[in-house]
């Protein structure tokens, strides 16, 4: 059954030059980065505080030492390499079919694979800025320092990731909405579509080729024109 659906997916992609991809944690689990919300993911491990609390703006302000201890331990994967979906998406962009990637991930693997037009809804661990003077710092600074990382000016260095309680970047939202509205094919992959407002962006799609690829069910399954409940790696390797 899935083989037929994958063949249909390939045919749609072959015949289109306006594809947009919206992805979540499942894209990066193929690179060995754990999914927050899976059975074996972070959200089911035991800590002094639940990850949702630690990864909140309030916790970051009140308990920065604990925040950075968790952040370094569980959120950074500097050795991860792009997976089959990352690589195939970059190839689709290079040959003019894919107009953009909208990702909920913060690992920078789409760019590492060669994708250029990437909208990072939740930011990136690769970018870090001093809260006082705005100085940029790379990932190495966060990894190699202990405790709360500070700038040479004395300010705290904050990862450019969207924490709980923080709003998404308006420019990113506007560009994501534009891409989705104009898309011929919208491919949604590796996301439970449970995180808002990001998941609500799917509602802006106006076409009739909504492809949903996810191992487990999502609230949008019935809206999909093509539902493939399989691994992204298997599906994208067929392209």
Encode pLDDT of 97-129 as tens digits: 999 999 999 999 999 999 999 999 999 999 999
Encode pLDDT of 179-200 as tens digits: 999 999 999 999 988 877 778 8
Encode pLDDT of 11-47 as tens digits: 999 999 999 999 999 999 999 998 755 544 555 565 7
Q: What are phi and psi of 65, to 5 degrees?
A: -65, -45
pTM above 0.85, yes or no: yes
Dihedral, 217, 222, 223, 229 alpha carbons, nearest 10: 40
CA 118 to CA 102: how far, in whole Å?
Answer: 6
Q: Which of 157, 168, 92, 89 is nearest to 123 (CA)?
A: 168
Q: Which of 52, 47, 42 is nearest to 76 (CA)?
A: 42
Which of these is catalytic: 57, 86, 110, 122? 122
Domains in the chain: boundaries: 1-33+81-122+168-239
Helix segments in 120-225, DSSP class H: 139-144, 170-182
8 Å CB contact between 36 and 43: yes
- Is 117 considered catalytic here? no
Superfamily for domain range 1-33+81-122+168-239: TPP-binding domain (3.40.50.1220)
Helix segments in the chain, DSSP class H: 2-14, 25-29, 51-54, 57-62, 64-74, 84-94, 109-113, 139-144, 170-182, 232-237
Peptide bond into 151 cis (omega under 30): no
């Amino acid at each position: 059954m899935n083989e037929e659906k994958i063949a249909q997916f390939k045919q749609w992609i072959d015949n289109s030059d306006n594809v947009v991809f919206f992805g979540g944690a499942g894209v990066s689990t193929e690179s060995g980065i754990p999914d927050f919300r899976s059975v074996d993911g972070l959200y089911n491990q035991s800590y002094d505080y639940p990850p949702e609390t630690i990864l909140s703006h309030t916790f970051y302000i009140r308990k920065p030492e604990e925040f950075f201890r968790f952040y370094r331990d569980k959120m950074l994967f500097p050795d991860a390499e792009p997976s089959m979906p990352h690589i195939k998406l970059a190839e689709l962009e290079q040959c003019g079919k894919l107009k953009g990637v909208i990702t909920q991930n913060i690992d920078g693997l789409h760019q590492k694979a060669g994708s250029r037009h990437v909208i990072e809804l939740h930011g990136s661990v690769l970018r870090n800025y001093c809260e006082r003077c705005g100085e940029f710092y790379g990932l190495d600074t966060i990894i190699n320092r202990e405790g709360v990382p500070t700038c040479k000016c004395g300010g705290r260095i904050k990862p450019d990731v969207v924490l709980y309680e923080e709003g998404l970047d308006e420019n990113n939202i506007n560009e994501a909405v534009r891409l989705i509205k104009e898309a011929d094919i919208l491919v949604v992959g590796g996301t439970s579509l449970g995180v808002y407002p990001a998941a609500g962006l799917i509602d802006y799609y106006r076409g009739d080729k909504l492809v949903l690829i996810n191992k487990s069910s999502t609230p949008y399954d019935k809206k999909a024109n093509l539902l493939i409940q399989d691994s992204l790696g298997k599906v994208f390797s067929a392209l």
